[in-house]
Amino acid sequence: MHMADALLAPAVAATMYAASGVAAGVSIHQLKKDDEPQKLPTMAVTAALVFAGQMINYTIPGTGSSGHMCGGMLLSALLGPQAGFLSMIVILAIQCLFFADGGLMALGANVWNMAFYGCFVGYYFIWRPIMHSRWFGEGKGAQRARIIAASILGCVITLQLGAFSVVLETSLSGITELPFGAFVALMQPIHLAIGLVEGLITSAVLVFVYESRPELLREVGAGAGEARRSLKATVAILAVIALLVGGGLSLLASGNPDGLEWALFGNAEEGYAENMGLDEEDFGVASAAADTAGSIQEATSFLPDYAFPNSDSAAGTTVSGVVGSALVAGVAVLICLAGGFFRKKKTTG
Amino acid sequence: MNKMEKALYELTEMDDLAARSSPIHGLCPMAKLLSTIAYIAVVVSFHKYELSALVPMLLWPVLLFQLSGIPVRTCFYKLRIVLPLVMAVGLFNPFFDRAPMLALGGVAVSGGVVSMLTLMLKGVLCLMASFLLMATTPIDHLCAALRRLHVPGMLVTLLLLTYRYVGVMTEELAVMTEAYHLRAPGQKGIHVSAWGSFLGQLLLRSMDRAEELYNSMQLRGYHEHFHYADIKPCTPRDAVYTLCCIALFLLLRLVDAASLLGGLFVR
Amino acid sequence: MIELKNVSFSYEKDRPVIRDLSFRIAEGESVGLIGANGAGKSTVMKLILGLCSGEGQVLIDGEQLSKANLYRLRGKLGFVLQNSDNQMFMPTVYEDMIFGPLNYGVTREETDRRVDAVLDRLGLQELKHRHNHRISGGEKRMAAIATILAMEPQAILMDEPSSALDPYNRRLVINVIRELPQTRLITSHDLDMILDTCSRVILLDGGRIAADGPAEEILRDRALLEAHRMELPLSLSR
């Protein structure tokens, strides 16, 4: 689910950086107020563990495939949402810097999609209420059931939110012709399955921790019924979120009926793609950058002096563009050759 | 090699590359960070049909690869993660955007194809830029730059500490994975019966490790903030480099250099 | 320099790990703390360092260790951990070495001078800017000792300094320990190393002192050692 730089317009990337930055700022403020100096090394070691742990392949019984672990839920259950969030930021930064998983520009969006939902939504709306709910009863078995329910529900819901954000950010950036509704219909079900598996793996790890050292888990054993929010209230909040997301979805989809149709009836309809002459303006979400880009292009493409003579200017521009690109490639090759030549000279001389 | 061993190999490879010396390695980390961010921002700001205008942006990373002596091969190996995602999104474009954009020798090329190629080129360029940054800048230097840019100290320290222990943890898991597979030949992953205990065991040990780590910090007088080495202060040379880079990117963004160049010959 | 007066400690109620322990280590002395697994060696270290506190008094340089003077008194002690990975938490050796001195208010110039002096003395100058996760186990242990020496402590405590080292690196570490001018307290199961580096040995069993005396004497006493689940050092068993 890591977004790449190329999938984002600068305006969208900057917005997501700002959003994630505010969340990080609030988290840091909170952690400083708590004043637990031993937290920092614990965060670092746990983050490193989750980073490595995400590479473990877990065999999914009955299938040939394998699943991975959900970092956000695990970290916030162990460290709390704020510390978990910061740890996730660092994990995503290392993945992007050293493994090219994600991108420098896309880091803000990735933090939001994967860390924010997983840590804050997952903790405050799912983990904590479930840990305090009386519905599961008393005793060790009930606690285990709570952990399993919270992990699975948490991973599924936060992954759905994340996947939805990916679609939203990509579409807002105006880089894909794939209609919004179709994109959503493609992403959400895949991530439902992934979320389920991630939830199961995460719950297995957390239950193991609970069996050996329950004091490591947040909100566990704090006593049922002491919650600031009851399970009923949580269900109500989740229902509202679902309504909002669903409502927003249908609203966006209705502005783009073809996309919804595509999602509902599939791509079987003949001649369908011809009807899909959409560009980003049609879903009303062209970014400011795309706009300026457009106007700049307009300004440059009418300069007559490099247009192909005796033809319409657009075609002329493209031909000179193709030739020019080939020349640029030639220059690049020359640079490489020169570099190789100088290096050789250095090693021999 | 299992996945963790590969990851360790990649980490050490980046480390080794960053420890080399070249004119690019010698620049101050801030200059490299800022120019890289500017480059990526300019690249992604190109409109989806501006393929030819985007092509000259290729020259900057190519030049940097040559100046720094970093092998391009290592960079392209990392493409395997980014490119499939970009492709998956971009591949739909030719199906949805079929309006012909240009004719090449009688073959009409649709807007969708152009926008797909633009997207893929953007993906490759962005990757090259951030790879070059990390291949010429050690992590502690990068963190020094982040601190000077007023990124909160807690986050920077956490990044450094985590980076330090990513190696340790990955190594431990690599050994554990090896041990697991030696006793469970033919299994592709961790069996469901060990889902919890495999990582859980290491997690519990890590908590003890974290405590010991904190003790070690405390015993050396740790209170609240970290002290770092003073790393490469910026010189006028670095400022000139950064400004030149940004000016170049803006110029290439505003002027379709490829078309201009081609126009000279086609005409 | 270090003195324990009637110290008792327990992690769980009614299961004391340290029982009424008293000993005194004089300035410049080199003491080996030995005992079987679970004898309480690590806990004694933790008590001296103020990482846990029990009944009785711990005195450092004549001052009783308390919450108020913990920071100041710890500045006089250096502790080399058994696991160097936990000791070296910064990315490079150099940054790890400056961590302690700068935290204790030593100026940058003085810190840099100390770092170079220590590295020169241990012959580690080429490790200075290396990354901690890229150096070998032996180098890491030496660097961990260097980290502590840069703090210029009056007493150095070491937990298993020779563990997991090859014979060559073990010998290097032993030579370094022998030449340290500071007061030393070393715990180890490597009795040959203790014999090489310490003049006095305290043998712990069940949280009590079973024997305290010259190293040559205690480490040669087969009956005493075997009574406390230990064996003669290899070099003396022939």
Domain boundaries of chain A, sorted by first residue: 5-339
Residue in A51, A78, A98, A310 to test binding to B, most B beta-carbons within 10 Å: A98
pLDDT mean over C52-75: 90
Q: Do B44 and A306 touch (CB under 8 A)?
A: no
Q: Does pLDDT of A29 surpass 90?
A: yes
Q: Are residues B109 and B237 in the same domain?
A: yes
In chain B, the residue whose alpha carbon lies closest to the alpha carbon of A62 is B192
CB atoms within 10 A of CB B117: 17
Q: Residue C206, by phi and psi: left (phi above 0), alpha (psi -120 to 50) or beta?
A: left
Q: Are residues B218 and B167 in the same domain?
A: yes
* Tens digit of each residue's pLDDT (9 = 90 or more) over C195-209: 999 999 999 998 899
Among A269-278, B258-267, C121-130, name the most confident range: C121-130
For residue B100, is it within any domain? yes
Q: Does C86 touch chain B (CB under 8 A)?
A: yes
Which residue segment(s) compose the domain that B12 sits in?
Answer: 1-138+232-261
Where residue A246 falls among pLDDT bands split at 50, 70, 90? low
Q: Does C151 touch chain B (CB under 8 A)?
A: yes
pLDDT mean over B66-85: 83
Nearest to A335 among B51, B63, B217 (CB): B63
Where residue A77 falls among pLDDT bands split at 50, 70, 90? very high
Q: Do A273 and B264 touch (CB under 8 A)?
A: no
Q: For strand C30-34 and strand C200-205, is the pairing parallel, antiparallel, or unpaired? A: parallel
Where residue A175 falls among pLDDT bands split at 50, 70, 90? confident
Q: Does C11 touch chain B (CB under 8 A)?
A: no
Nearest to C134 among B15, B227, B228 (CB): B15
Nearest to A178 among B52, B96, B264 (CB): B96
The residue among A177 and C136 whose pLDDT is bigger is C136
Nearest to C86 among B15, B138, B209 (CB): B209
Nearest-Cα distance to chain C for B2, in Å, is 20
Does this model's pTM top 0.90? My answer is no
Where residue A244 falls among pLDDT bands split at 50, 70, 90? low
Q: Do C103 and B213 touch (CB under 8 A)?
A: no
Q: Are residues B18 and B84 in the same domain?
A: yes
pLDDT > 90: percent of chain A: 24
Q: Do A293 and B198 touch (CB under 8 A)?
A: no
Give the pLDDT score at B103. Answer: 67
- State chain B's mean pLDDT as an integer: 86
Lowest-pLDDT range of A177-191, B31-45, C110-124: A177-191
Radius of gyration of chain B (CA): 23
Query: ipTM of this model?
Result: 0.92
pLDDT mean over B52-76: 88
Q: Three-state SS for A302?
A: coil
CB atoms within 10 A of CB A226: 9
For residue B122, is it within any domain? yes
For residue B266, is it within any domain? no
Q: Does C99 touch chain B (CB under 8 A)?
A: yes
Per the structure block, which two tokens stand in for A237? 């909040």
Q: How is domain A5-339 classified at the CATH fold level? A: Arp2/3 complex 21 kDa subunit ARPC3 (1.10.1760)
pLDDT mean over B213-222: 89
Measured between beta carbons, the chain A residues lying within 8 angstroms of B120 are 6
Across the beta sheet with C183-187, what order do the strands follow?
Answer: C77-80, C155-159, C183-187, C30-34, C200-205, C208-214
CB-CB contact of A82 with B28 (8 Å): no
The DSSP code sequence of B123-161 is HHHHHHHHHHHHHHS-HHHHHHHHHHTT--HHHHHHHHH
Q: Are residues B165 and B94 in the same domain?
A: no
Q: For strand C30-34 and strand C183-187, is the pairing parallel, antiparallel, or unpaired? A: parallel
For chain B, how many structural domains are there in total?
Answer: 2
Q: Are residues B105 and B186 in the same domain?
A: no
CA–CA dist C137, C159 (Å, integer)? 16
Q: Does C222 touch chain B (CB under 8 A)?
A: no
Among A314-318, B116-120, C28-32, name the most confident range: C28-32
Q: Are residues B245 and B156 in the same domain?
A: no
pLDDT mean over C15-34: 92
Q: Does pLDDT of C184 surpass 50?
A: yes
Per the structure block, which two tokens stand in for C19? 């029982």
pLDDT mean over C89-104: 90
For residue B267, is it within any domain? no
- State chain A's mean pLDDT as an integer: 75
pLDDT mean over B129-145: 91
Q: Do B97 and A103 touch (CB under 8 A)?
A: no
Q: Are residues B243 and B115 in the same domain?
A: yes
